[in-house]
Amino acid sequence: MELQHIFDQSVAQLKAHDLFYGHGVADAEDEVILLLMHVMQVDFESLNQMQQALVTDEQQQQIARLLTERVSSRKPMAYLIGMSVFAGLIFRVDERVLIPRSPFVSLIDEGFAPWVDMSSVSRVLDMCTGSGCIGLAVAHYFPDTQVDLVDLSEPALDLARLNQDRLQLTDRTRCIHSDLFDSLEEERYDLIIANPPYVDEDEYRTLPDEYRHEPEMALVSDWQGMQLPVRILAAAAGYLSESGCLFLEVGYNDDVLNRCLPDVPITWVDLTAGGHGICVFSRRDLLKYQPQFSAFLKAHVT
């Protein structure tokens, strides 16, 4: 059977069920492309030239098994095949980490301009790294950088190390186990990237079933989802160089952060490739609004 027919058939099968797409894919078509890349062992460009290629019986059976499991388990396709694509790179993923899908890909594509001149950036911190996708993509596309990948989850760091090795970036990246900045001591960075948990507990319980397969600790934060984001805002200045910047992602909870910090003018990045909810702070502004960050944290101490 030709690949194009398998593609059409697979898309129709997924669309016949009430599935949620959003874990690194936009729709059933994207998910089937990811599936076929895995089964046919090719990249996207090669797959796109293979419409008339014949799919073996064994490959058809593998596709059928994975589609059936996708529908019955509601497990995202990236977990079923153990891979995801982010910033044009293939990452290994499993249920130790979130599936890569951050709008940080837009900032990587644009070199973090106009806020940062990447030619002058030497040290980068990827906070709450998970699979390592954001930090490793930065290291891949900006070869003059050294990137630290930080996470509280040791299992997540184990997977980040696999991706670090697979992308041949072990010489310019390192994985650090830390509760946010606690283990970083005297480190200073020109650029800090942070994609922390920012989902409120009650909101988490209403998410589609696909989210149940992701680690809850990588999604949920206390205080309307804002505890960890504000902790990062409060501490980041101490780890930035004089001209350094922090980029913080809170996704669709951008309005929540605005309400939690009403006296802080927050600069939200216009993401040309889609998505929203990334703000940027200079070190100077982080220091300027330190009292507001501290007041929020103090008010929510239990």
Average pLDDT over residues 222-249: 97
Closest Cα to residue 281, out of 254, 231, 243? Answer: 243
In terms of residue numbers, what domain contains 118? 96-299
**Separation CA 251–CA 234 (nearest Å):** 19
H/E run at residue 5 = helix 3-15
For residues 212 and 242, membership in a common domain is answered with yes
pLDDT at residue 302 is higher than 70: no
Of 220, 182, 181, residue with least CA distance to 202? 220
Q: Considering the domain boundaries, does residue 88 fall inside one? A: no
Residue 225 lies in a domain: yes
Query: Would strands 123-127 and 146-151 be described as parallel, antiparallel, or unpaired?
Result: parallel
DSSP 55: P
Are residues 156 and 278 both part of a single domain? yes
What pLDDT score does 275 carry?
78
Q: Using one digit for the tens of pLDDT, what is the confidence trace for 288-298?
A: 999 999 999 99
Say what percent of the chain tops pLDDT 70. Answer: 99
Residue 96: is its pLDDT beyond 80?
yes
Looking at 38-103, which runs of residues are DSSP E strands?
Answer: 83-86, 89-92
At 241, give phi and psi (nearest 5°). Answer: -70, 170
Give CA–CA dist 52/238, Å, rounded: 57
One-letter amino acid for residue 135 of the chain:
G
In the sheet that holds 278-282, the strands lie side by side as 173-177, 146-151, 123-127, 189-194, 240-249, 278-282, 267-268
Cα–Cα distance between 289 and 262 in angstroms, integer?
11
Q: What amino acid is encoded at 70 in this protein?
A: R
Rounded to 10 deg, the angle between the 227-235 and 290-299 helix axes is 140
What integer pLDDT is reported at residue 61 of this predicted model? 97
What tokens appear for 267 in the block? 């600069």
Residue 274 has pLDDT above 90, yes or no: no
**Looking at the structure, do residues 65 and 11 belong to the same domain, yes or no?**
yes
- 132 with 272, same domain? yes
User: What single DSSP character describes residue 220?
Assistant: B
- CA-to-CA distance for 101 and 230, rounded, in angstroms? 22
Distances (CA, A) of 208 to 18, 21, 26, 82, 94: 10, 10, 15, 20, 18
Question: What is the chain's alpha carbon radius of gyration, rounded to the nearest angstrom?
Answer: 20
Among candidate residues 81, 105, 132, the one where a domain is terminated:
81
Domain shared by 144 and 261, yes or no = yes
Same domain as 288, residue 262 = yes
Give the CATH number for residue 247. Answer: 3.40.50.150
Say whether both 216 and 293 belong to one domain: yes
Separation of alpha carbons 254 and 239, rounded Å:
24
- Say if residues 63 and 70 touch (Cβ distance below 8 Å): no
Give me the residues paired with residue 225 across strands.
Answer: none
Predicted TM-score of the model (pTM): 0.95
Q: Which residues contact 12 (CB under 8 A, 6 or more apart)?
A: none
Per-residue confidence at 50, pLDDT binned at 50, 70, 90? confident
Residue 91 is assigned to a structural domain of this protein? no
Instruction: Give pLDDT, residue 300.
Output: 84
Together in a domain, 112 and 48:
no
Q: How far apart are CA 194 and CA 256, in angstroms?
A: 17
Confidence bin at 251 (pLDDT 50/70/90): very high
| Domains identified in the chain, total number | 2
Other CB atoms closer than 10 Å to residue 301's CB: what's the count?
A: 6
Higher pLDDT, 185 or 103: 103
- Cα–Cα distances (Å) from 10 to 14, 62, 64, 81, 99, in that order, read 6, 12, 8, 15, 22
* One domain for residues 123 and 234: yes
